[in-house]
Amino acid sequence: MRTARLHGITDLRVGNEPAPEAGPGETLVRVTAVGICGSDIHWYEDGAIGDARLDRPLVPGHEGAGVIVAGPRRGERVAIDPAIPCGTCRACQEGRRNLCYNILFSGNGVTDGMLREVMPWPSSRLHPLPDTVSDEAGAMLEPLGVALWALDLGRVPFGGTTAVVGCGPVGLLLIQLLRAAGVSRLIAVEPLPHRREAAAKWGADEVLDPTPASAPTSAPTRGAAAPDFSSYGVDVAFEMAGNDDAVHIAMESVRPGGHVVLGGIPGSDTTTFRASLARGKELTFAMVRRMNEVYPRAIDLAARGVVALDPLVSSRFPLTDAPAAFAAARRRTGLKVVISALP
C-alpha cells in the first residue's frame, strides 16, 4: 500500500507499507481524494502546529473522501470526518465534541491521516455522499464545515454586514455561505490577486487589497493605498489568514460592540493585538476550533448547490507525487490542491 509519510520538516516520503486492517467499530476505506490544508503546510514547513509537535513520522491529510471496501457498506462513497471524539468527557457530554479533551484527529499528533491508499476509520465518522457530490467535493466538505462552524460562532444578524479577512479556501467558502445567508454587505480582504478575483466571483460586494501602493485587479477591487478599514463598521468580521495583520484589520473593520471571529492558525502559536482597540470598541471574540458536528449540514448544502466546491480545486496530483503537491500548495498560486486517486 502506497503511503505518504512526513519524517521531518519538508521531508515527505512516498513508500510502500503493509495494508491496514479494520479494528472494532472501524471500516476500511479506499481514499479517493485528499485536500491539502494550510494546517498540513504548517506540519510540512514547521514540523508543528500550535502546541503539537512532530515526534514520529506522520501520515498527513484530514480533508478526504473515499469508497468503503469491505463489510455491509461496501462500495458506498463517503466523506471522512477527520475528528474522533471520545464521547465521554465533559466537552463531549456538553455537546462540544470539537473541544473533546481526548480527541483524535486525522493527520495530527499520533493519528495517521488520509494520504494513503487505504485507511481504517470509525464507521460512525463516515458520511454517505450523494451522487451529486463528487469525490473531490467530498474532500472539500471538511473546509466547508470549518467555514460553516465559523459562521455559527459569528452570530451574524439577519441582513447584517460582514468582512472576511483572508480568502483562501475556507475564506472563499465562508463568503459563499454568508451570501447564501442573506447578508446585506460583504467585504473581502486579501493580498493575493487571484484570491481577490475569486472572492469577487463568489459574492463579495467589495474586495480590498490590504497592501499599500498596489493596483486594482478587478472592478470591485480597491488598491493604490491601504484602505481605511475603520470606515466600514461591519457587524461581524471573520479573520481567516492566521497572522496579526489580519487580526488587526478584522478588529478595525468591525463596528463598536461588534464580533470578531478568529479562524486563522498562526504559525507561531501566538496572536497579539492592540488591547486599546479591542477595549475601545468592546469587541466580542470567538475562536474557531475545527467544527462541531456539521457534516450533515455541509453535505446538504453541497448537494443542493448552495455552495460551489469543485471549482475551488485548482490542481490535482496522484499520491505518488505528494511532495510536488505540497510544494505547489506552499506557493499559494492556486486555490485548493488535491491529491486524487481518480483518473
Res 268: pLDDT: 81
Domain residue ranges of the chain, discontinuous segments joined by +: 2-134+309-340, 144-287
Q: Do domains 2-134+309-340 and 144-287 have the same CATH topology?
A: no
- Looking up cell 472501524 gives 26
pLDDT, one tens digit per residue, over 225-262 is 678 999 999 999 999 999 999 999 999 999 999 999 99
User: Is 81's pLDDT higher than 60?
Assistant: yes
Mean pLDDT, residues 30-44: 94
Mean pLDDT, residues 320-334: 94
Provide CB contacts within 8 A for 211, sequence distance 6+: 191, 226
Mean pLDDT, residues 118-125: 97
Res 213: pLDDT: 56
Q: For the chain, what is the mean pLDDT?
A: 93
Q: What would the grid cell of residue 62 be?
A: 484530514
pLDDT, one tens digit per residue, over 260-314 is 999 998 888 889 999 999 999 999 999 999 999 999 999 999 999 999 999 999 9
Provide CB contacts within 8 A for 272, sequence distance 6+: 244
Nearest-5° angle of CA 187, CA 188, CA 189?
125
**More confident site: 216 or 227:** 227
Of the pLDDT bands very low, low, confident and very high (cuts 50, 70, 90), residue 179 is very high
Separation CA 293–CA 304 (nearest Å): 19
Considering the domain 144-287 in this protein, what is its CATH number?
A: 3.40.50.720
Separation CA 266–CA 50 (nearest Å): 8
Mean pLDDT, residues 142-161: 96
3-state secondary structure of 133: coil
How far is it between the farthest Cα atoms of the chain?
A: 60
| Polymer length in residues for the chain | 343
Phi, psi angles (nearest 5°) of residue 127: -100, 125
Of the pLDDT bands very low, low, confident and very high (cuts 50, 70, 90), residue 342 is low
Res 218: pLDDT: 43
Q: Which amino acid is at 192?
A: L
CB 135 within 8 A of CB 342: yes
Of the pLDDT bands very low, low, confident and very high (cuts 50, 70, 90), residue 219 is very low
Residues above pLDDT 90, as percent of the chain = 86
Separation CA 70–CA 137 (nearest Å): 23
Mean pLDDT, residues 306-331: 95
Mean pLDDT, residues 2-31: 95
**More confident site: 193 or 52:** 193
Strand 185-189 relative to strand 206-208, pairing: parallel
CB 120 within 8 A of CB 20: yes
CB 61 within 8 A of CB 117: no
Q: Which amino acid is at 264?
A: G
User: Is 343's pLDDT higher than 60?
Assistant: no
Q: Mean pLDDT check: name the lowest of 47-56, 74-83, 99-108, 173-182.
A: 47-56
Res 244: pLDDT: 93
Considering the domain 2-134+309-340 in this protein, what is its CATH number?
A: 3.90.180.10
